[in-house]
Amino acid sequence: RQPVGPCALIVPWNFPLLIAAWKVAPALAAGNTAVLKPASATPLSALRLCELATEAGLPDGVLNGIAGPGGSVGAALASAPAIRKVSFTGDSENGAAILRLAAPDIKRVSLELGGKSAAIILDDADVDATLDSLLQVAGLMNNGQACVAQTRVLASKAKYDEVVNGLATRMEAVKVGD
């Protein structure tokens, strides 16, 4: 296996440090260099990550941070001939634009475009444990601004009433606000 070469890693505003780490670690572990471009609204944690990597001994130029608007900076990265791989997490419209910009150089592209997940509850599920867990990651986590948020719950006929009643009870107990 060979490194693909310089990677553009474009992260969203929600979970900016966590998603940056999810992109940076595998890119560097595979022997690539990387340019990390955080969302315009949340650049500081990603840029600090790059500084800390350099302070920890990562050679200059291995991990680079650049901030700015996605429409210009992100587009420049996606279309730059030196970039061989683009990893983007964000919305579908911008993901499609990145694909178009990366196509002329036949870059490798990974897109995570904000999909929402379904929770599937089958007959053998421990409904109480499942609903307690589901409440933490459903539409409530980060105000629903998470690509892993369960926005649908699919329950078997045998568990349907238990699931609906259990979710309703738990949601009624949620305190909104501070």
Q: Is-catalytic flag, 172?
A: no
Q: Is-contact 153 134, C-beta < 8 A?
A: yes
Residue type, 152: R
What's 72's DSSP letter? I
CA proximity to 46, closest of 32, 64, 29, 28: 64
Based on the residue annotation, tell me whether 50 is a catalytic residue of this protein: no
**In a 10 Å sphere around its CB, with 0-12 CB exposed, 13-18 middle and 19+ buried, how is residue 92 labelled?**
exposed
Give residue 84's identity as a one-letter amino acid code.
Answer: R
Return the number of other C-beta atoms located less than 10 Å from residue 108's C-beta: 13
Number of neighbours of residue 4 by Cβ within 10 angstroms: 15
**Active-site residue identified among 50, 112, 162, 172:** 112
Query: Which two three-digit tokens encode residue 2?
Result: 């060979």
CA 22, chain centre distance (Å)? 8
Active-site choice (7, 50, 51, 147): 147
Give the residue numbers annotated as catalytic, written as ranges: 112, 147
